[in-house]
Amino acid sequence: MPHSLGLYSLQLLNLTSRPHLAGLPEDLESAEVVAERWKNDGLLVIKPKYNVLLSYSDDNNLNRVTLTSDDGSFIIQTNGTEKVYDLTQPKTVNPFLAYTPNGTVNSTKLFYSNYGTLEDLQKLASVVGNASLQGSIIIMRYGSFFRGDKIMHAQYFGAIGAILYNDPADYAPFGTTADQVYDQTWYMPPSGAQRGSVLILDDYMYRLKEENVKYLPKIPAQPIGYAEAQVILQYLEGNEVPVEWRGALPNVTYRYGGELHNGSTIEVKTYNRLQRKDTYDVIGIMKGDIELDRYIVMGNHRDAWSLGAIDPTSGTATMLEITRVLGEMYKNGFRPRRSLMFCSWEAEEYGLIGSMEYVQVPSAYDAPGQTVYDKWMRVNRNNMTDEPKLTYGLGSGSDFFSFDQLVGSSNMDARYTYNSAEQRNIASHPLYHTSYEVFSMMKKFVDPDFTAHRTMGQFIGVLVLLLSETPVLQFNVTRYTMALMQAMNNLKPNDPTILDPLRNAINDFGKTAEDFVARSKLMDRENPYEIRFYNDQLLQLERSFLNPLRQGGDHTDFKHIVFAPAKDNQYAASGFPTISDAIFNNNQIEIEYQVAIATYFVRGALSILKDFNNFFS
């Protein structure tokens, strides 16, 4: 059954015709659309409901940042909105940072801390002094890592408020004139402001009282446009920052900051509120014919901060086209070997809530034997080895997190993306989480004929069928040896020999993995029991790296001992994060302790791959 370019376009046009912010009626309407489509495709559909804590801005009171002179007159007050280019476009939520508190803070001290990494804040503190940061407001640029960690770092160093903006160096690298930005190109215009959540991941099953939720920032924070940031940064005092801290705002000398110019005052005022809302995942199931207890799970989140033509709706449109094609096959007699599960998650933007709730809350359709959670993967070929260039470890940037960190399934994340070199290494697609992520932008600048959508749909559709229909799972365990060695080699302790126990365990894992592959070539592929036995070993491998005690208070929900976000970056996966953090803190005893734990789990994983006839050898 062919994939239709026109249907991809039509799917996206329909899905982006309304806002779909999680917890609001419009997103429930989107859930009903997905559910009806899947019922028509012949899927068994369930719609789990969860009551969760979400965060909203106040449409009647705009969040603003105000710079005031010593006589009380405004130097600049931010709009709290973005410029409207299309008057027919539905109104979307104004820029805000979900889960930052309602409040007003003022200071005569403003500091600039580059991307707001822990290293950036430490550098700033070393230049201006820790005491100077107390009671200040800190402005940071988007990019490099998770926005929530930026706010928490500012709070940790004593700031009472934070401001985020998209610097043109990262989001409009070719210039900021009208012909160089949206709506003439896909680059961020001067008024664009990136919305987003600052929620640090934690457990959602036990409903804490709001005042006891430790992982929510305590300081007001607000995103603004870079035209507004330009005016504010011009009032910074202090020494100039190093070259690597400088952005590309015209007529701005980037400085560390301090007391504001001419006795000015900076104010951050927000009207955000926390509210419990019912949210709905949509789950569509095509039952398998032979191994119906084994699932191939494919998902995409549905909610968006605005109309979400790229994030997430390009994925939803693609998934709906895949299920349409598979549904036609199903109606014509096709039955998958293993069950297929399609998932439309809600409240991903708030902190992966829909997928995490589904994994944590027992369901009528639990999938203890699930094979892979398949949600977009990056693949390029290595010309020297013909191996794919794989990014090992998915981090926590999307809904694969719960499957990766809580249940230990094998996951992949695939996407069509821009050529980073041609785009001057922009931080992300430039209009990410703005009101400009609309259908016309996709049609004009990103995928005009929807061939990228169709190619991704065909790739994922074929991949789902291969994973479902191939009796012997096609996982390459020797790549895990490379991933483990790469993760260990990225660790840089003062004494490299402290890693020797882990290094020896990884070497032994590699030998066992090679032996496992050699045995698989001798397997009787006509014997269903032998195939099941082999597949079960593959399924258990990823799970063997999960620490049931989790990784301590600083890694609350992270169980994966090898690939999990580091303490100061909730987005990216860090190899052996607890060892990395111990090295960062220069704690020799903790390094030895964490190396011992990691070694234990690598050797446990090694045992999973052993020939059971020689298990004790």
Whether 350 has a pLDDT exceeding 70, the answer reads yes
Residue 1's CB: how many other CB atoms inside 10 A?
A: 12
Tens of pLDDT, residues 387-422? 545 555 444 445 555 656 566 566 777 777 888 778
CATH of the domain at 150: 3.50.30.30
- Domain span including residue 427: 5-55+276-469
Whether 572 has a pLDDT exceeding 80, the answer reads no
Tens of pLDDT, residues 573-598? 568 888 988 998 899 999 999 999 99
Q: What is the structure's pLDDT at 555?
A: 44
Residues 219 and 322 in one domain: no
Q: What is the structure's pLDDT at 469?
A: 95
Residues 300 and 416 in one domain: yes
More confident residue, 208 or 11: 11
Q: What is the structure's pLDDT at 209?
A: 56
CATH of the domain at 49: 3.40.630.10
Q: CA 279, CA 299: separation in Å to the nearest integer?
A: 16
Q: What is the structure's pLDDT at 413?
A: 74
Give residue 367's pLDDT band: very low, low, confident or very high (50, 70, 90).
Answer: very low
In the predicted model, what is the mean pLDDT of residues 249-265? 95
CATH of the domain at 541: 1.20.930.40
Of 251, 231, 238, residue with least CA distance to 69: 231
The SS3 call for residue 88 is coil
Give residue 428's pLDDT band: very low, low, confident or very high (50, 70, 90).
Answer: confident
Residues 138 and 263 in one domain: yes
Residues of the chain with pLDDT > 90, as a percent, come to 70
Residues 386 and 351 in one domain: yes
- Give the mean pLDDT of the chain: 87
Whether 317 has a pLDDT exceeding 50, the answer reads yes
Whether 257 has a pLDDT exceeding 80, the answer reads yes
Tens of pLDDT, residues 170-200? 999 999 999 999 999 999 999 999 999 998 7
The tokens of 269 are what?
Answer: 């005022």
Whether 542 has a pLDDT exceeding 80, the answer reads yes
Whether 552 has a pLDDT exceeding 60, the answer reads no
Give residue 546's pLDDT band: very low, low, confident or very high (50, 70, 90).
Answer: confident
**Domain end marker among 441, 469, 497:** 469
Using the 8-state DSSP alphabet, how is residue 189 labeled? P
Decide: 137 and 270 in contact? Cβ < 8 Å. no
Whether 571 has a pLDDT exceeding 50, the answer reads no
Give residue 315's pLDDT band: very low, low, confident or very high (50, 70, 90).
Answer: very high
Token look-up 């249907």 returns 7
Give residue 341's pLDDT band: very low, low, confident or very high (50, 70, 90).
Answer: very high
For 26-35, 70-79, 160-169, 409-418, which range has the lowest pLDDT when averaged over its residues?
Answer: 409-418
Decide: 110 and 266 in contact? Cβ < 8 Å. yes
Using the 8-state DSSP alphabet, how is residue 429 labeled? S
Q: CA 339, CA 426: separation in Å to the nearest integer?
A: 40
Residues 24 and 133 in one domain: no
Q: Which residues contact 606 (CB under 8 A, 6 or more apart)?
A: 505, 508, 509, 512
Whether 556 has a pLDDT exceeding 80, the answer reads no
**Domain end marker among 211, 245, 271:** 271
Token look-up 């699930």 returns 370
Residues 489 and 610 in one domain: yes
Q: Which residues contact 400 (CB under 8 A, 6 or more apart)?
A: 373, 375, 394, 411, 412, 413
- For 520-526, the CB contacts below 8 A with 24+ separation are 520/472, 523/472, 525/471, 525/472
Residues 93 and 153 in one domain: yes
In the predicted model, what is the mean pLDDT of residues 142-155? 94
Task: List % helix, strand, coil for the chain (3-state, nearest 5).
Answer: 35, 20, 45
**Domain end marker among 271, 302, 329:** 271
Residues 340 and 388 in one domain: yes
Structural domain total, the chain: 3
Give residue 128's pLDDT band: very low, low, confident or very high (50, 70, 90).
Answer: very high
Residues 485 and 387 in one domain: no
Residues 248 and 373 in one domain: no
Residues 359 and 294 in one domain: yes
In the predicted model, what is the mean pLDDT of residues 260-267? 93
Residues 79 and 198 in one domain: yes
Whether 362 has a pLDDT exceeding 60, the answer reads no
In the predicted model, what is the mean pLDDT of residues 350-358? 81
Whether 221 has a pLDDT exceeding 60, the answer reads yes
